Amino acid sequence: MNDVSPLVDAAVPGLPTATVVLKPKRARPFFGRHPWVLDSAVAKVEGGPADGDVVDLTTHDGHFVARGLWNSQSRIRVRLYAFDAATKLDDALWRGRIAAAVALRRSLGLDDRTGAARLVNSEGDDLSGLIVDRYGEYLAVQVTALAMAVRLETICDALDAEVAPRGILLRGAERGLAKLEGLALADRLIRGTAPSGPIFVVEHGLKFGVDLAEGQKTGYYLDQRDNRQAAARHARGRRVLDMFCYSGGFAVACAVSGGARSVLAIDTSEKAAALARANAGLNGAANVTVEAVDAFEKLDALAAAGERFGMIVLDPPKFARSRAAVDDALRAYHRINRVAVGLLEPGGILVTCSCSGSVTRDHFHQMLSGVAQRAGRSIQILESRGAAADHPVSVSCLEGEYLTCVIARVP
Ligand code: SAH
């Protein structure tokens, strides 16, 4: 117990140790409650805050704007957590925010101990830099900000109090992100016990094995939970292709909930393919075939062979890692969607996703318009969806809205 990060300081104070002064005319986003103060907006720092300390943010002429946590190693110099001077950033605040986040999931009906849900979604729960996913009796915590890393013990106490998990596992932040924050966190068990192998969670009545220790993200793609069911509603009797299937979420939903005729699921990772096969078996879906091959090559091979599908799911990894990469990403999305449309029989269903935050929903719809033009076929958007409700997005930080899932019909 309590074997947490060496960064932990039990006596992290809740009141500011320094003042961060903004450049003139740079305060507006923060009056608008945006939580990220970039280094380029900062004029000077009064006092010598240590990384993770509480600081006050002021305008260039000394007016209070907000209160946040300092990190000299990140381009996000200050993450803001309160917009009034009366709120202390102390343990009680973190506990209260975590309790509120957990209560929201309870009200969404996502507190079933056999299921899985995102309990804390960073800015969406006013806890910038903290992600907590619950898989049955276990929690996977991901910290993407040093400010949260130094408060891990308080966070775990709050999670213990709110959900009493069997174990809390720390999953390292995405490598790039961790480097940006100056974080060095290895994956490890931080509270309780770890599961001895994969665990099983129920999603909309389907069972999925999740590898908490080694799986992608924190083990599973919870954000697509409701999109899998939405896709499955169109699958009846169809031949389905699930591209970038990971552990087979869409494939199993289409086969079992949706009544697809057959499903071909593709992922380049052998591990993912094995998980998908196991998950198909677990749900008695004998008509799911999984191949561990490259999706781009497979799409071309299927097209060359003149294959046709009644439904195609495209859920690729993030194509755009930054704003500068948006054009390249849109070209890549265009390419796979163009090939997929060519593989669809008349009246076929295209379920096409982007988890690139810098590719907006508008960009994505425009990309599909380009595909329709090139393919010489209409594309009807039936639904344009986002992440499930346990992934709330703060209107003050729309950067948190990263997932687009379009369900379209191609006449
Ligand atoms: N649809 C999945 C999530 C997909 S995540 C779900 O519902 O859970 C994206 C997946 O794409 C990852 O599993 C990754 O292994 C896979 N991937 C990445 N590059 C690939 C490629 N070139 N060909 C096939 N799969 C690829």
- Residue with the two structure tokens 């002064």: 21
CATH number assigned to the domain with residue range 18-82, chosen from the 4 options 1.10.40.50, 2.30.130.10, 3.30.70.20, 3.20.20.70: 2.30.130.10
Residue nearest to atom 13 of ligand 1 (CA): 246
Share of the chain above pLDDT 70, in %: 93
Q: Which residue ranges make up each domain of the chain? A: 18-82, 91-192, 221-410
Length reported for the chain: 411
Amino acid at the residue 324: A
Q: How far is residue 84's CA from residue 140's CA, in Å, rounded to a whole number?
A: 31
Going by their DSSP bridges, the two strands 262-266 and 239-243 should be labelled as parallel
Atom of ligand 1 at shortest range from CA of 220: 8
- 19 touches ligand 1 (CB under 6 Å): no
Output the average pLDDT for the chain.
93
Spatial CB neighbours of 194, under 8 Å, sequence gap ≥ 6: 138, 167, 169, 212, 213
Instruction: Report whether CATH 3.40.50.150 matches the domain 221-410.
Output: yes
Q: Is 15 exposed, middle or buried (0-12, 13-18, 19+ CB in 10 A)?
A: exposed
How remote is the CA of residue 246 from the centroid of ligand 1, in Å?
A: 5
Cα(273)–Cα(252) distance, integer angstroms? 13
Of the candidates 348, 363, 392, which has an alpha carbon nearest to the alpha carbon of residue 260?
348
Tell me the per-residue pLDDT of 126-184, one tens digit each, with 9 for 90 and over: 999 999 999 999 999 999 899 999 999 999 999 999 999 999 999 876 655 666 677 76
CA separation for the pair 323, 358 (Å, rounded): 5
Which CATH number does 91-192 carry? 3.30.750.80
- What is the whole-number distance in angstroms between the Cα of residue 296 and the centre of ligand 1? 11
State the pLDDT at residue 218.
66
Is there a common fold for 18-82 and 221-410? no
CB-based burial label for 306 (10 Å; 0-12, 13-18, 19+): exposed
* Pocket lining: 203 vs ligand 1, CB cutoff 6 Å: no
Q: What is the mean pLDDT of the segment spanning 389-408?
A: 97
Is residue 296 very low, low, confident or very high in pLDDT (cuts 50, 70, 90)?
very high
Residue type, 225: R
As beta bridge partners, residue 57 has: 20, 66
pLDDT tens for each residue of 350-387: 999 999 999 999 999 999 999 999 999 999 999 999 99
Which is nearest to 385 in space by CA: 359, 361, 410, 411? 361
